[in-house]
Amino acid sequence: MDLSANARTVLEKRYLIKENDKVIEQPEDLFRRVAANIAEAETLYGNDNPEAVAEEFYQLMVSMDFLPNSPTLMNAGRELQQLAACFVLPVEDSMESIFDSIKNSALIHKSGGGTGFSFSRLRPHNDRVKSTGGVASGPVSFMKVFNAATEAVKQGGTRRGANMGILRVDHPDILSFITAKEDNSELTNFNISVAVTQEFMAAVGQGKDYPLLNPRTGEVVATLSAKMVFEKLVDSAWRNGEPGILFIDYVNADNPTPHIGEMESTNPCGEQPLLPYEACNLGSLNVANFILDGDIDYSRLGRVVKTAVHFLDNVIDMSDYPLPEITEMVKNNRKIGLGVMGFADALLAMGIAYDSSEAVEKAKEIMSFIQHTSKEASAALAEKRGAYPNFTGSRDHQQGGPPLRNATTTTIAPTGTISIIAGVSSGIEPLFAVCYHRNVLDNDRLVETHPRFEESACQQGFYSQELMEKVARLGTVRGLPEVPEDIQNIFVTAHDIAPQWHVQIQAAFQQHTDNAVSKTVNLHHDASREDVARVFMLAHQLKCKGVTVYRDGSRDGQVLTLGEDKQLQVTEQGIVPRPRPEVTTGRTEKIKIGCGNLYISVNSDEIGICEVFTNTGREGGCASQSEATSRLVSIALRSGISVESIVEQLRGIRCPACIRRPGIKVTSCPDAIARAIKKNGSQVSSAGIPLQQFATAGSTPDAGCPECGQPVKFESGCAICLSCGFSRCG
């Protein structure tokens, strides 16, 4: 297997089996383990030779033609054996149902899954509670309880719990829901989306009011201006990317089993609408692996699609679901979701620009083929194994279609970590970067260059290390005179692409996908609210099932909590250091330096170390240099930079006066300052909280990864680390 350094890092950190924190499994062993486990389902259908199927599944994965979702890679063949990623739980309008859902979501998070909820059935804030004579607290209040419960549960030791919260646009609490994540410290374990109806969108276009319905009684309790609500949605999404929009009527128009129930919610990244208690097993085809003579090799892709459908159907039988209600629903509908990754890389290999009509048509062509072939494979499985139990009465059954093994077969899911393993672009997203800087050992920075761009640069004679550094710094090749125009047109990144092309690509895939499409419409920082509104309207016009926008840097204005009643403000201009407190306590240390003595005072307040002062003795010394160093250190401390990072930068700096003089134990004045700071609290950040906790507080798309500090990209409704695979959505 030809794995990149990043791929090995992700596998070792998140997937390979460990004992006492030591990795005891190789990547090839992982794929053998998963293949053998999933092939065991063959014995349920009379196949007494599962080994041959296991080999077929192994080749499917080890070739990187297809990879299943993360829970399958992590848990197949292990004690947990929970293989599904997506779940939806009901939230009915009673205290018992609410807390049952909290308990059940905790079990799902513990097993490695993410959960979606519709809070639309809950009575609104201040509505009457007959049993107690009191008033209801409303959906947003209960979402905070769900959020707190999620915070307390670590998913299988490798994935943090993630939720989707949905509220219908005609719920009386819709305005408070839209602004529920205005403060980025609220509902940190939730993505939120508004379920928008056709009636609402029509009212927006006509400038009319629309009714709000009390879900407890079904009665109209008020009306609102649809245009005003839409503008609030746009404003909130412009500010920080949430809420997204779910076109709930489009979702239910494609519900394969309307006789079983109505779709109300999706999984955390929005690509999988599900019935209550339903789950779905996902996997992705690496379409970049199927380029032959400048186009897609559909013959080979067809064979792989059929094997992948077989694999995912087996996953249903091999998974241990966390609740009996889920087991029943899953096995009655047997939904699978086959999607793609490496789409942007496939376009590059075919010489097609992502932001072009040719790319839109190619997206339709690829997904139409996958959809058609996956249905054929599901029908073939139904002949051998039987149709899914709820097929009779399903939409396909009513339309006279052949019996199918699976109620759905296709989904376009985010592929943050599995695309790193495969070494390709994520899902159907464009390239995040042509070149970017990656930190390595000893704080060195290396330029990571897209291999196809490097190959093109070498072949056409414009490669230079200086150019790669420049591209990494600028984030784009467009407008660079050193890069030929045809290369500029093809090697586009998410922020080079006009918003309408993002939406058109999403719609092209949605046209041939059973479930939904996870994708982010990336916008420049200076994009207007009108730009966001146009995206929402175009997504509705092109019949996307949902849409999420993210304006670059829109979460820079977050407030990071550093301690009790203490906050650090981050603005568009950068971090604003917290003010120097009026009273501090500390200690002063005398340290011998090459020029005499240096007196270093390290002071703290109730949060942590906040300032450093230096004075030189009578012998003199570099007083101005030491003062400048201490001032900069003080600002860094009050800006939330960890003590450990500051010490690392200062220690070991060498000064000839210190090195040449016998008996001096420091190498320079900065080195002396580093030693004094370290003595006063190297185990806490300047905010007085553990370093790991501080990093997590800042884990937004506009900050580095909280686990490894590497670049983080925002795609498919989630923040994903390029290096270690960390994801805010699990």
Q: SS3 letters for 10-42?
A: HHHHHCCCEECCEECCCHHHHHHHHHHHHHHHH
Residue 373, pLDDT score: 98
- pTM assigned to the model: 0.81
- What are the angstrom distances between the C-alpha of 598 and each of 593, 635, 636, 673? 6, 21, 21, 9
Neighbour-count burial of 464, counting CB atoms closer than 10 A to its CB (0-12 exposed, 13-18 middle, 19+ buried): exposed
The DSSP annotation for 440-462 comes to -GGG-EEEEE-HHHHHHHHHHT-
Give the helix ranges, DSSP H, for 351-445. 357-385, 395-398, 416-422
Count CA within 13 A, CB hemisphere, residue 636: 18
Neighbour-count burial of 240, counting CB atoms closer than 10 A to its CB (0-12 exposed, 13-18 middle, 19+ buried): buried
What's the CA gap between 35 and 311, in Å, rounded?
A: 9
What the block records as the tokens of 213 is 């319905």
pLDDT under 50: residue ranges of the chain? 155-157, 557-567, 572, 682-700
How many CB atoms neighbour CB 233 within 10 A?
24
What's the CA gap between 85 and 185, in Å, rounded?
A: 25
Q: Which residues pair with 224 in a beta bridge?
A: 210
Residue 90, pLDDT score: 97
Q: Within the chain, what is the greatest distance between any pair of CA atoms? A: 97
Task: Give the closest residue to 167 by CA, choosing from 141, 186, 205.
Answer: 141
DSSP 3-state of 169:
coil
Residue 566, pLDDT score: 43
What's the CA gap between 539 and 545, in Å, rounded?
A: 8
Phi, psi (rounded to 5 degrees) for 493 = -115, 175
Domain boundaries, the chain: 1-423, 435-557+700-721, 563-693
Query: Do 552 and 523 form a contact (C-beta atoms < 8 A)?
Result: yes
How many CB atoms neighbour CB 505 within 10 A?
28
What the block records as the tokens of 75 is 């848990």
Residue 560, pLDDT score: 33
How many CB atoms neighbour CB 63 within 10 A?
14
What's the CA gap between 419 and 426, in Å, rounded?
A: 5
Query: Do 646 and 633 form a contact (C-beta atoms < 8 A)?
Result: yes
The catalytic residue positions are 267, 269, 271
Strands 566-571 and 574-576: antiparallel
What's the CA gap between 347 and 290, in Å, rounded?
A: 11
At position 703, the amino acid (one-letter code) is: A
Task: Give the closest residue to 343 by CA, choosing from 117, 505, 483.
Answer: 505
What's the CA gap between 277 and 684, in Å, rounded?
A: 43
Residue 350, pLDDT score: 97
Query: Do 713 and 728 form a contact (C-beta atoms < 8 A)?
Result: no
pLDDT, tens only, 370-421: 999 999 999 999 999 999 999 999 999 999 999 999 999 999 999 989 999 9
What's the CA gap between 510 and 542, in Å, rounded?
A: 9
Collect all residues with Cβ–Cβ distance below 8 Å to 261 and sequence separation of at least 6: 275, 276
What's the CA gap between 261 and 224, in Å, rounded?
A: 29
Collect all residues with Cβ–Cβ distance below 8 Å to 699 and sequence separation of at least 6: 705, 706, 712, 719, 726, 728
What's the CA gap between 645 and 628, in Å, rounded?
A: 18
What's the CA gap between 420 and 341, in Å, rounded?
A: 10
What's the CA gap between 706 and 721, in Å, rounded?
A: 9
Type and span of the H or E element at 291: strand 291-292
What's the CA gap between 310 and 304, in Å, rounded?
A: 10
Kindly give the interhelix angle for 343-350 and 357-385, rounded to the nearest 10 degrees: 120
At position 712, the amino acid (one-letter code) is: V
Q: Any idea how long the chain is?
A: 730
Type and span of the H or E element at 245: strand 244-247
Task: Give the closest residue to 525 by CA, choosing from 504, 494, 567, 492.
Answer: 494
Kindly give the interhelix angle for 357-385 and 298-318, rounded to the nearest 10 degrees: 50
What's the CA gap between 646 and 444, in Å, rounded?
A: 16
Count CA within 13 A, CB hemisphere, residue 7: 17
Task: Give the closest residue to 460 by CA, choosing from 490, 486, 425.
Answer: 486
What the block records as the tokens of 354 is 């992502």
Q: What is the CATH number of domain 563-693?
A: 3.90.1010
What's the CA gap between 358 and 489, in Å, rounded?
A: 13
Give the helix ranges, DSSP H, for 320-356. 324-333, 343-350
How many CB atoms neighbour CB 43 within 10 A?
12
Q: What is the CATH number of domain 1-423?
A: 3.20.70.20
Query: Do 547 and 245 form a contact (C-beta atoms < 8 A)?
Result: yes
Type and span of the H or E element at 706: none
What's the CA gap between 636 and 648, in Å, rounded?
A: 13
Query: Do 242 and 192 form a contact (C-beta atoms < 8 A)?
Result: yes
Residue 563, pLDDT score: 35
What's the CA gap between 278 and 672, in Å, rounded?
A: 61
Collect all residues with Cβ–Cβ distance below 8 Å to 675 and sequence separation of at least 6: 591, 651, 666
Residue 507, pLDDT score: 98
